[in-house]
DNA sequence: GTTAGCATGTAAGGAGTTACATGATTTT
DNA sequence: AAAATCATGTAACTCCTTACATGCTAAC
């Protein structure tokens, strides 16, 4: 019945509010520069979603009525995460499943990699890569299946699409290598310092 | 009231059916390798849309019941464009407005560039380019506005996004140059042959 | 003869958008 | 004092998905 509340929006809002409490308008601005495509989310999506998160007890509203000497600055609602909201965010940050491989999901999860565990980061990067490799194969198949039968523009579209995906795979390869190196360094440092400790947070 | 019938789907279906009559299942396959993201359109979208196009008189159904010697191969509906459908497609092919600059619109219109007039092609390519240049500016602005205040992952996301958009701009530049060259050749050929003729179709 | 793929459809719902509506605050 | 921008919200609608339901045909 709750209309919204799933997909990437909830996650993005919780993630942003974890950095700092904010009001709706500011959240939208941050969202624009955060989301993969840099598209602006409409208010018609944003405010209902915030209300639902509030109704679900994940965020708290604070009506900013600090009339210090009469400068009553009403009508701004600052949201902050509740304890339950923080727990929910931690759950979402631990997710590394298929939902995090697709275009939208990956973009948002990557934006919050700074708050994500190293093992989850690697799972997401590798999942994303194999997802893109599937797409590469699909394009290549369409390529050989329809070659000769298509005009030069369709061919160029396929060629450019293929190149873009392959570039992103190379980008992911670099990131994965970098993550592995970081993990190895952490591992060896941990082994050097304390061999008995297991899975320290 | 008619649920669907706008956006890129109508255009893509009419464009595909202009190449050759087809049944729904085949249309979906062609669509998958045509649309920019190479995503598969669900049947739940496809069939209702075909029904609406039929109701609007743009396509004709032909129930494939050629029981040559009893091989009654029922339940396949082959669609083809009607005269009105062809006119509608020509209108859509002549469109070069803002709807053709965005991700979805551009992808589909580009796929049918082979059937598009040269001047419209150029308008679409240039519109798409300026659209992407706006996006470049937006990312760059977000870059300088938030630099130092963001973690390395967010920074890397912005950097990669910026690079991708800039690559597509360079691709468009090549295409535009190629179009201009083609137009010039056509122009000079036309001028050589018949100088008095103006705006021949 | 049963599984896999071809082929068509419906119902319900999810995730957003646009257009509308309101009012406060800052800038010109 | 007018215009722009900040700020919040609602209603209707769009486009698409998932899940369901059906039956035919080809392959193993």
Ordered per-residue pLDDT tens for chain A, 201 residues: 444 566 889 999 999 999 999 999 999 988 987 775 667 889 999 999 999 999 999 999 998 765 544 444 557 999 999 999 999 999 999 999 988 998 889 999 999 999 999 999 999 999 999 999 988 888 887 777 777 778 899 889 889 999 999 999 999 999 999 999 987 777 777 666 655 555 543
A38 Cβ neighbours under 8 A, 6+ residues apart: A32, B135, B138, B139, B142, B161
pLDDT of B57 > 60? The answer is yes
* Closest chain B residue to A19, measured at CA: B150
Residue pair A122/A183 in contact by the 8 Å Cβ criterion? yes
What pLDDT is stored for residue B201 in this prediction? 37
Taking the CB of residue A32, how many other CB atoms lie within 10 A of it? Answer: 15
Distance of B40 CA from D15 C1′ (whole Å): 15
> Quick one: average pLDDT of B38-50?
89
What pTM did the predictor assign?
0.86
Phi, psi of B20 (to 5 degrees): -165, 145
Dihedral sign for Cα B25, B26, B29, B33, please. Answer: negative
Residue B29 exposure: Cα atoms within 13 Å on the Cβ side:
9
Considering only the beta carbons, identify the residue of B111, B135, B160 that sits closest to A38. B135
Considering only the beta carbons, identify the residue of B34, B145, B157 that sits closest to A110. B157
A135 Cβ neighbours under 8 A, 6+ residues apart: A165, B38
What pLDDT is stored for residue B67 in this prediction? 52
Q: Is the CB of A42 under 7 A from strand C?
A: yes
* Closest chain B residue to A145, measured at CA: B33
What pLDDT is stored for residue B195 in this prediction? 53
Residues 10-69/B with CB < 7 A to strand D = 39-45, 49
* Closest chain B residue to A164, measured at CA: B164
Q: Is B79 helix (H, G, I), strand (E, B) or coil?
A: strand
What pLDDT is stored for residue A167 in this prediction? 96
Q: Chain B residues with CB-CB distance to A under 8 A?
A: 32-34, 36-38, 103, 107, 110-114, 135, 138-139, 142, 145-146, 151-154, 156-158, 160-161, 164, 167-168, 171, 175
A100 Cβ neighbours under 8 A, 6+ residues apart: A106, A109, A124, A127, A128
Taking the CB of residue A62, how many other CB atoms lie within 10 A of it? Answer: 12
Selection from A117, A187, A118 nearest residue A198 by Cα: A187
Instruction: Let me know the angle formed at the C-alpha of A102 by B159 and A178, rounded to the nearest 5 degrees.
Output: 45
Taking the CB of residue A180, how many other CB atoms lie within 10 A of it? Answer: 13
> Quick one: average pLDDT of B176-197?
75
Q: Is B59 helix (H, G, I), strand (E, B) or coil?
A: strand
What pLDDT is stored for residue A13 in this prediction? 95
Q: What is the pLDDT of residues B110-146, one digit of tens each?
A: 999 999 999 999 999 999 999 999 888 888 887 777 7
Query: CB A135 to CB B38 under 8 A?
Result: yes
More confident: B117 or B149? B117
What pLDDT is stored for residue B194 in this prediction? 56
> Quick one: average pLDDT of B64-68?
59
* Closest chain B residue to A152, measured at CA: B114
Q: Is A65 helix (H, G, I), strand (E, B) or coil?
A: coil
List Cα–Cα distances, A133 to A90, A101, A119, A128, in angstroms: 29, 12, 21, 9
What pLDDT is stored for residue B193 in this prediction? 64
User: Which one of A33-47, A180-194, B1-15, B94-108 scores highest in mean pLDDT?
Assistant: B94-108
Selection from B104, B103, B97 nearest residue B120 by Cα: B97
- For residue B51, give the DSSP letter: H
Considering only the beta carbons, identify the residue of B110, B151, B160 that sits closest to A157. B110
Q: Which two tokens stand for residue A10?
A: 């909830």
Q: Is the CB of B80 under 7 A from strand C?
A: no
> Quick one: average pLDDT of B31-56?
86
Question: pLDDT tier at B91 (50, 70, 90 boundaries)?
Answer: very high
- Nucleotide closest in space to A40 (CA vs C1'): C17
What pLDDT is stored for residue B184 in this prediction? 76
Q: How many CB pairs under 8 A join A and B?
A: 70
What pLDDT is stored for residue B191 in this prediction? 66
More confident: A116 or B65? A116
Query: CB B164 to CB A167 under 8 A?
Result: yes
Selection from B120, B122, B124 nearest residue B101 by Cα: B124
Residues of chain A contacting B138 with CB distance shorter than 8 Å: 32-33, 38
Tokens 């298929």 correspond to A98
> Quick one: average pLDDT of B8-19?
94
Query: CB A38 to CB B175 under 8 A?
Result: no
Residue pair A104/A89 in contact by the 8 Å Cβ criterion? no
Considering only the beta carbons, identify the residue of B110, B145, B153 that sits closest to A113. B153
More confident: A133 or B67? A133
> Partners of A62 in the beta sheet?
A78
Task: Count H helices and E strands in chain A, helices first.
Answer: 7, 3
Checking phi first, is residue A38 left (phi over 0); if not, alpha (psi -120 to 50) or beta?
Answer: left
């Amino acid at each position: 019945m709750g209309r919204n509340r799933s997909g990437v929006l909830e996650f993005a809002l919780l993630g942003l509010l974890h950095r700092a409490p904010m009001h709706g308008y500011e959240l939208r601005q941050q969202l624009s520069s955060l989301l993969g495509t840099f598209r602006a989310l409409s208010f018609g999506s944003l405010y209902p979603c915030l209300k639902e998160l509030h109704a679900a007890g994940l965020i708290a509203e604070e009506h900013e009525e600090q009339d210090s000497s009469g400068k009553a600055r009403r009508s701004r609602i600052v949201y902050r995460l509740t304890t339950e909201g923080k727990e929910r965010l931690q759950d979402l940050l631990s997710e590394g499943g298929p939902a995090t491989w697709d275009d939208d999901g990956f973009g948002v999860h990557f934006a919050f990699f700074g708050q994500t565990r190293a093992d989850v980061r690697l799972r997401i990067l590798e999942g994303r890569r194999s997802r893109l490799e599937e797409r590469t194969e699909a394009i290549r198949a369409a390529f050989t299946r329809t070659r000769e039968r298509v005009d030069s523009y369709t061919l160029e579209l396929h060629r450019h699409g293929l190149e873009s995906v392959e570039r992103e795979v190379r980008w992911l390869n670099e990131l994965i290598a970098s993550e592995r190196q970081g993990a190895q360094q952490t591992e060896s440092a941990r082994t050097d310092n304390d061999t008995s400790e297991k899975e320290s947070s």
